[in-house]
Amino acid sequence: MPTQNFHVERLAEMLQREIGTIISQEMRDPRIPPVVTVTRVKLAQDIRNATVFVSIYGEEDVKSNAVEALNKAVSFIQHVAASRIVVKHFPRLRFKIDNSIEHGRHIDELLKDIQNDLE
């Protein structure tokens, strides 16, 4: 089974790169800010479904509007990506916000506060 996992990981990387390119260069929706980063793609083992995690800079309403716009444009994104990545069954995409960067910043601030308290 190691080859199956390798193929899933490789497809996830290719999807991440292509979807990021499509969003940054081919999307014209004003609800999508200019800086949207595809942080990772999580594929189901059968490769039929994929969750695309995106990091968006801005307020919560900007983030939710952008993810809503991406989920509404999913058929366009799938069509363009499927023309560039050839697989037997192209996965259905679903976009979600990745808050790991903000979470990491929060932890970093907490660690700095602890460091300052110790000094």
User: What pLDDT is attached to residue 32?
Assistant: 93
User: What pLDDT is attached to residue 1?
Assistant: 47
User: What pLDDT is attached to residue 6?
Assistant: 83
Domain CATH number, residue 100: 3.30.300.20
Tell me which residue range forms the domain holding 107.
2-118
What DSSP letter does each residue of 70-106 carry, written as one string? HHHTHHHHHHHHHHHS--SSPPEEEEEE--HHHHHHH
User: What pLDDT is attached to residue 110?
Assistant: 87
- pLDDT per residue of the chain (119 residues) written in tens, 0 to 9: 456 678 889 999 999 999 999 999 999 999 999 889 999 999 998 899 999 999 998 888 999 999 999 999 999 999 999 999 999 899 999 999 998 777 778 888 888 888 888 87
Number of domains in the chain: 1
User: What pLDDT is attached to residue 38?
Assistant: 96
d(CA 72, CA 98): 18
The length of the chain is 119
pTM: 0.83
Single-letter residue type at 2: P
**Residue 70 tokens, joined:** 């991406």
User: What pLDDT is attached to residue 116?
Assistant: 85
